[in-house]
C-alpha cells in the first residue's frame, strides 16, 4: 500500500500538536491549519516543546528534531489542505465545530481516496461522516496524550466507513507511526473512555461528598493500586472541560447514572478551573 506522505492536521492544541509531532518525526510533510495567527504561534510552541521533550528523553537527536520541525508548516486557511493525502481533525471536543470542519474539508479535498480522520474522544463517527458527501472516507483515529509517548490508537469505523478508509488508517497508524491499534464500535466514548470516565467521575464524587480530598484519592490509587497517576490528576491532565464533554456524550447515549457529570465537575468547568492547562483543577499547577 502506498502510504500518505502529505498530512494535514486541523487544530493545534495538545492533541493536534502531538499528532503533528509524530507525523513529522516519521518523515512526513505536515501542514497544520490553526484558527488564527495567534493560534499559529501557540501551536508552533506546542510542537517545539513536544519535540524538545523527545530530545530530553533521548528519543531523537537535536538534528532529528530540527529536521522534523522543518517538515511542519502552518496555515490559517483550511483550503491550504487541499493537496493533503490524509487529514486529521483535532479541534476541541465540540460537535458543532467538528461538523463544520468536516463539512468544509469535504468541499476542499475533492480526491475521494483522501481519508478524513477524527481524533474525537466521544462523538460517534457516523454523525461526523454525515456532514460530508462521502461518509465512506471518514473514520475515527483516536490518539492518547501525550501522543509521542503513548503507543495506543483506537480505530473507530462507522457503519458507513469504507474498506479503503479502514485499511489506510490501520496501515498508516501501525506501519508509519509504529502505534498499536485496537478497534472499537462506533458509540459515544468508544472503548477506552467508556471504561475510564466512570472511574474519574467516581473519584470526583468522593471528593464532592467529603469522603476524601483529592490528594488522598490520588495517593490511594497510585500507592495502593500501582496506577502511574491518580484519577483526579489524570482528569486535570486530560482537561476537565474535555472530561465533562465525554461524560455528557456517554450519558446522553447510555443514560446510566454513573456517567452523568457530577455538580463539582460542572461548577469547575463553568469557573474556568480546567486542570493543568489553566493552572488549577483538582490540584494546583505552577
Q: Any binding-site annotation on 6? A: no
Domains detected in the chain: 6-185 (3.40.50.720), 193-278 (1.10.1040.10)
**Of the listed 89, 118, 122, 142, which one is catalytic?**
142
What confidence category does residue 128 fall into, taking pLDDT thresholds of 50, 70 and 90? very high
Q: Catalytic residue at 142?
A: yes
Phi, psi angles (nearest 5°) of residue 30: -115, 125
Please say if the pLDDT value at position 1 is more than 80. no
**Of the listed 118, 158, 193, 244, which one is catalytic?**
193
pLDDT in tens, 235-278: 999 999 999 999 999 999 999 999 999 999 999 999 999 999 99
Q: Any binding-site annotation on 98? A: no
> Which alpha helices (H) appear in the chain, and where do they start and end?
14-25, 37-56, 62-70, 95-108, 125-129, 163-171, 192-208, 214-225, 231-238, 240-254, 263-270
Quick one: DSSP state of residue 259? Answer: G
Q: Any binding-site annotation on 245? A: no
Q: Catalytic residue at 193?
A: yes
**Of the listed 85, 89, 136, 154, which one is catalytic?**
154
What confidence category does residue 202 fall into, taking pLDDT thresholds of 50, 70 and 90? very high
| Closest to 157 measured CA to CA, from 186, 190, 135 | 186
pLDDT in tens, 28-86: 999 999 999 999 999 999 999 999 999 999 999 999 999 999 999 999 999 999 999 99
Amino acid at each position: 500500500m502506498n502510504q500518505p506522505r502529505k498530512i494535514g492536521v486541523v487544530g493545534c492544541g495538545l492533541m493536534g500538536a502531538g499528532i503533528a509531532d509524530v507525523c513529522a518525526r516519521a518523515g512526513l510533510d505536515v501542514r497544520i491549519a490553526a484558527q488564527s495567527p495567534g493560534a499559529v504561534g501557540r501551536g508552533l510552541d506546542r510542537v517545539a516543546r513536544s519535540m524538545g521533550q523527545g530530545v530530553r528523553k533521548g528519543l531523537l537527536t537535536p538534528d532529528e528534531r530540527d529536521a522534523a520541525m522543518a517538515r511542519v508548516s502552518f496555515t490559517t486557511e483550511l483550503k491550504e489542505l487541499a493537496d493533503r493525502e490524509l487529514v486529521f481533525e483535532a479541534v476541541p471536543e465540540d460537535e458543532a465545530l467538528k461538523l463544520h470542519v468536516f463539512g468544509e474539508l469535504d468541499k476542499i479535498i475533492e480526491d475521494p481516496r483522501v481519508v478524513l480522520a477524527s481524533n474525537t474522544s466521544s462523538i460517534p463517527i457516523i454523525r461526523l461522516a454525515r456532514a460530508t458527501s462521502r461518509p465512506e472516507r471518514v473514520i475515527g483515529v483516536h490518539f492518547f496524550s501525550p501522543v509521542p509517548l503513548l503507543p495506543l490508537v483506537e480505530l473507530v469505523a462507522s457503519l458507513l466507513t469504507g474498506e479503503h478508509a479502514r485499511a489506510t488508517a490501520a496501515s498508516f497508524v501501525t506501519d508509519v507511526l509504529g502505534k498499536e491499534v485496537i478497534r472499537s464500535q462506533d458509540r459515544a466514548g468508544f472503548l477506552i473512555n467508556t471504561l475510564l470516565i466512570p472511574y474519574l467521575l467516581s473519584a470526583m464524587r468522593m471528593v464532592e461528598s467529603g469522603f476524601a480530598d483529592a490528594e488522598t484519592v490520588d495517593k490511594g490509587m497510585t500507592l495502593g493500586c500501582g496506577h502511574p497517576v491518580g484519577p483526579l490528576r489524570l482528569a486535570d491532565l486530560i482537561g476537565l472541560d474535555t472530561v465533562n464533554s465525554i461524560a455528557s456524550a456517554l450519558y446522553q447515549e447510555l443514560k446510566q447514572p454513573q456517567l452523568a457529570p457530577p455538580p463539582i465537575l460542572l461548577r469547575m468547568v463553568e469557573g474556568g478551573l480546567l486542570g493543568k492547562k489553566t493552572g488549577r483543577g483538582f490540584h494546583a499547577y505552577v
